Amino acid sequence: MVRSVAGGLTALHSLVRLKAQPEGMEARMNPHLQRMLCDAAWDGDARLIEALLNDPDVIPGAHHSTALVHAAHRGKTRCAELLLPVSDPQARNAEPLWRAARYRRAACVRLLAPLSDTTHWARWQWDELPSAMTALLVRLGKEVPGQ
């Protein structure tokens, strides 16, 4: 026999979520909405990102700012602009900038370069970049080791 919960499905969802997740920031995070945020960043869906940023169950900077990494990788500059105030451009050793540069996303490189520290990039990371992107990073004030 199925018993009803006072407050309906919403109350049941809250009860299950409170018991299933650890305390702290991650306790508020809805993994399905987080996935939607990352997918929206990958697809360049700025409207969906705007909506999800207003949802209290979404933590844009979670998982090392994966949504920002996706937006930069795909060159979705508007999405990166939306995510930047609530994400960490330094996450994963400034991976959002590296991905943008590696895949020739110049607008994202210009957006992220002033906020990213490339001094800890390994030599292979610089070697992977197209020469035009390395030149752009130098123009934006980044120093290439060994040059």
Both tokens assigned to 1: 């026999």
Question: What pLDDT, on a 0 to 100 scale, did the predictor assign at position 5?
Answer: 39
DSSP 49-118: HHHHHT-TT--TTHHHHHHHHHHHHHT-HHHHHHHGGGS-TTHHHHHHHHHHHHTT-HHHHHHHGGG---
Q: What's the confidence (pLDDT) of residue 13?
A: 38
**Does position 2 have pLDDT exceeding 80, yes or no?**
no
Q: Can you list the domains of the chain with their CATH numbers?
A: 30-139 (1.25.40.20)
The answer on pLDDT for 118 being more than 50 is yes
Tens of pLDDT, residue by residue over 57-111, are 998 888 889 999 999 999 999 999 999 999 999 999 999 999 999 999 999 999 9
Q: What is the DSSP letter of 144?
A: P
Average pLDDT over residues 116-145: 97
Residue 115 CA to residue 94 CA, distance in Å, equals 9
Residue 12: the pLDDT is: 33
Identify which has the larger pLDDT, 20 or 122. 122
pLDDT score recorded for residue 110: 99
pLDDT digits (tens, 9 = 90+) for 4-56: 434 543 443 343 333 333 445 555 789 999 999 999 999 999 999 999 999 99
Per-residue pLDDT at 60: 84
